[in-house]
Amino acid sequence: MRPAFFRWIFYERINNLILGGYLTVFFVLGLIRKQKTILPLSIIASAFIYIFVFQGGNVQHEYYQIIAFPALALSVGMGVALVIESTKTFLHPLFTTPLIILLFAASFFFSWFQVKGYYSIPQDLLLMSKIIQTFTKPTDKVVADRMGDTTLLYLSDRRGSPLLYREPEEMKKMGYRYILTDKKEIMEKLLLLKYEKLFENNQFALFAL
C-alpha cells in the first residue's frame, strides 16, 4: 500500500475520471451527512474495502472501479440532498439549484476531457485485431501480449490472455492456440522453439502454438 496507490485511486481515478473534480464536494458532504441508518455508509465502506483488497487490479485497470460506482453515486446524491436541505446554512435557495447544475455540468466536461482519449483506437490495434480474426477461429484462445491491456482481445472478439505470463509450452497446455506479440525478444524465443509464424510485419507477429 504505497503512496502511488492512493494517488492513482483517489485522485486520478475517483476524483478526476469518475467525479470530474467538482462532484468531489458533494461526495465529501455525503460522507459527513448524518444518517438515520447505517446502510448508506455500509455500502460506501464496502466499496472502499473492495478497492483496498484488490489494490493491484484497481491500479492497473480503470474498469475495476465500476463496482464502486453505486457507492460513489450514493454519496454524491446524499451530498446534494444535504445542500438542498440546508439552504439556510450553505446558500440562498435561489442560487442552490443553479449551483448544483453548474457543478454537475463542470464535472461532466472535466471528466470527458480526461477520458475522451480512451475512445480513440490506434490503427495498429485495429490491424492486429483483423489479423487475429483472419488466422484464428472464434473459439480459439489467443495470447494478445499487450502488457495486461485487454483492448486487443475485445476488438478481436476472442477469449484469451492479454499477457504472456507463462512459458509458451505451458500456455499451450492451458488451451491457448495463438500468440500475438510486438516484442522482439519473444518473437525470437518462439522462433527458436520452432513455433509456426503465421504473420509478421515491422510491428508485430502472430504465432501458432
User: If you average pLDDT over residues 86-112, what whole number do you get?
Assistant: 84
Select from 176, 182, 185 the least CA-distant residue to 209: 176
User: If you average pLDDT over residues 72-91, what whole number do you get?
Assistant: 85
Q: What is the pLDDT of residue 141?
A: 95
| Domain end marker among 103, 119, 135 | 119
Pair (100, 127) in one structural domain: no
Q: What is the pLDDT of residue 63?
A: 84
Query: With contact defined as beta carbons under 8 Å apart, do 35 and 81 qualify?
Result: no
Q: What is the overall mean pLDDT for the chain?
A: 89
Pair (54, 96) in one structural domain: yes
Pair (9, 72) in one structural domain: yes
Distances (CA, A) of 171 to 121, 158, 162, 196: 28, 16, 12, 15
For the cut 70, the answer to whether the pLDDT of residue 118 exceeds it is yes
Residue found by looking up cell 503465421 in the block:
198
For the cut 90, the answer to whether the pLDDT of residue 117 exceeds it is no
Query: With contact defined as beta carbons under 8 Å apart, do 70 and 43 qualify?
Result: yes
Domains in the chain: how many in total?
2
User: If you average pLDDT over residues 17-46, what whole number do you get?
Assistant: 90
| Domain end marker among 82, 102, 119 | 119
Q: In what order do the strands lie in the sheet with 159-161?
A: 159-161, 141-145, 176-181, 205-208, 196-200
Pair (70, 132) in one structural domain: no
Pair (135, 114) in one structural domain: no
pTM for the model stands at 0.67
User: If you average pLDDT over residues 73-99, what whole number do you get?
Assistant: 83
pLDDT (tens digit per residue) in 189-201:
999 999 999 999 9
Pair (81, 96) in one structural domain: yes
| Domain end marker among 84, 103, 119 | 119
Pair (84, 150) in one structural domain: no
Pair (191, 89) in one structural domain: no
Pair (137, 182) in one structural domain: yes
pLDDT (tens digit per residue) in 43-79:
999 999 999 998 888 888 888 899 999 999 999 999 9
Pair (107, 157) in one structural domain: no
pLDDT (tens digit per residue) in 174-193:
999 999 999 999 999 999 99
Pair (110, 164) in one structural domain: no
pLDDT (tens digit per residue) in 122-149:
888 899 999 999 999 999 999 999 888 8
φ, ψ (nearest 5 deg) of residue 205: -145, 150
Q: What is the pLDDT of residue 92?
A: 73
Q: What is the domain range of residue 31?
A: 3-119
Pair (165, 112) in one structural domain: no
